């Protein structure tokens, strides 16, 4: 039986995968979408015109990169809306603002006025009808050691050449951010709870947990 039906996951569901760089979002996005018969929405890293320059000079390129990511994320949001859902999304727009933009602003890589401009753009986008919140955010958590090992193994030079402190700070910020996040239901998944490389079937217990959380959320809505 198709896993989506087995665990009663509605065909219009939108699930976003959150977590720090290298933790395994894209890998899980692909596996979940295949298992559920959903479409994917990926961040495009190779065609990003700012990313390499940004890693070489945060101060010069932070604002440009954030505006670029926001525009790309918004276009994807619109695409998901137009299809009527049935998507797995690799990274949420909430991380752009809550993690990356915030961190680079606080570190002095983005000026006050640039940060305010960025935030007002974000707020205006979120208020449009294209912006339903996801039904579920899956938060991937792993130790900083595992994350750094994965970043090194994946081998994007711009990330390999970035000081370890950057990844340590981001990892800490992610933990604080997710503890305060309440925009939509959250399923926390430790990266040692599954292994999609060695055992494709480890996706099924994840789907079972997704089905359970979606059912709980639907039941809670009925009583509101
Ligand atoms: N479950 C897993 N077990 C082992 N390695 C993994 C797993 N998931 C991802 N990886 C590896 O970790 C690296 C980062 O994964 P990726 O999905 O690209 O992360 P992200 O999208 O969060 O940056 C890649 O080299 C990938 O092959
Ligand atoms: N909003 C962002 N600001 C800065 N850098 C970002 C942002 N979103 C993604 N990134 C970077 C981080 C990674 O180097 C690549 C892709 O992210 P990944 O977590 O590997 O999918 O883009």
What is the reported pLDDT for 98?
95
Compute the chain's Rg from CA coordinates.
18
Sequence ranges of the domains in the chain: 2-222
What is the reported pLDDT for 1?
56
Q: Cα dihedral angle (91, 95, 99, 104), rounded to 10 degrees? A: 90
For a mutational test of ligand 1's pocket, the pick from 18, 22, 46, i.e. the residue with the most ligand atoms closer than 8 A to its C-beta, is 22
Please name the residue ranges forming H helices in the chain.
Answer: 3-6, 25-36, 51-56, 58-83, 93-95, 102-106, 112-126, 144-154, 157-160, 164-180, 203-222
Decide: 23 in ligand 1 pocket, CB within 6 A.
yes
Whether 52 and 158 have beta carbons less than 8 Å apart is answered as yes
Spatial distance between the Cα atoms of 147 and 107, rounded to a whole number of angstroms:
22
224 is in an annotated binding site: no
195 counts as catalytic? no
Residues 10-68 have pLDDT tens digits of 999 999 999 999 999 999 999 999 999 999 999 989 999 999 999 999 999 999 999 99
Q: What is the largest CA-CA distance in the chain?
A: 54
In this structure, which ligand is nearest to the CA of 26?
1
What is the reported pLDDT for 125?
87
Report, as ranges of residue numbers, the positions in the chain whose pLDDT lies below 50. none
Give the global pTM: 0.95
Distance (Å) from CA 161 to ligand 1 centroid: 18
For a mutational test of ligand 2's pocket, the pick from 97, 100, 156, i.e. the residue with the most ligand atoms closer than 8 A to its C-beta, is 100
Among 46, 52, 57, 90, the active-site one is 90
Neighbours of 220 (CB within 10 A): 10
Distance (Å) from CA 151 to ligand 2 centroid: 12
21 is in an annotated binding site: yes
- Determine which residue's CA is closest to atom 12 belonging to ligand 2: 21
CB-neighbour burial class of residue 88 (10 A; exposed 0-12, middle 13-18, buried 19+): buried
For a mutational test of ligand 1's pocket, the pick from 20, 21, 27, 32, i.e. the residue with the most ligand atoms closer than 8 A to its C-beta, is 27
In this structure, which ligand is nearest to the CA of 45?
2
- Determine which residue's CA is closest to atom 17 belonging to ligand 2: 21
Q: Regarding the domain delimited by 2-222, which CATH topology (the fold level of the hierarchy) does it fall under?
A: Rossmann fold (3.40.50)
């Amino acid at each position: 039986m198709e896993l989506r039906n087995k665990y009663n996951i509605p065909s219009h569901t939108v699930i976003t995968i959150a977590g720090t760089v290298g933790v395994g979002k894209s890998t899980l996005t692909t596996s979940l979408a295949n298992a559920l018969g959903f479409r994917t929405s990926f961040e495009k890293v190779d065609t990003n015109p700012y990313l390499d320059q940004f890693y070489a000079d945060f101060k010069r390129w932070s604002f440009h990169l954030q505006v670029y990511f926001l525009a790309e994320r918004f276009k994807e949001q619109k695409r998901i809306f137009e299809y009527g859902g049935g998507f797995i999304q690799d990274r949420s727009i909430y991380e752009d603002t809550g993690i990356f933009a915030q961190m680079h602003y606080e570190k002095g890589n983005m000026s006050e006025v640039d940060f305010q401009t960025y935030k007002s753009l974000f707020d205006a986008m979120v208020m449009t009808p294209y912006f339903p919140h996801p039904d579920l955010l899956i938060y991937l958590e792993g130790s900083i050691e595992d994350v750094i090992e994965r970043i090194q193994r994946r081998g994007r030079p711009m990330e390999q050449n970035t000081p370890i402190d950057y990844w340590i700070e981001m990892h800490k910020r992610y933990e604080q951010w997710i503890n305060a996040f309440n925009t939509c239901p959250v399923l926390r998944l430790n990266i040692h709870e599954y292994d999609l490389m060695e055992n494709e079937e480890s996706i099924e217990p994840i789907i079972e947990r997704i089905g359970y959380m979606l059912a709980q959320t639907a039941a809670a809505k009925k009583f509101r």
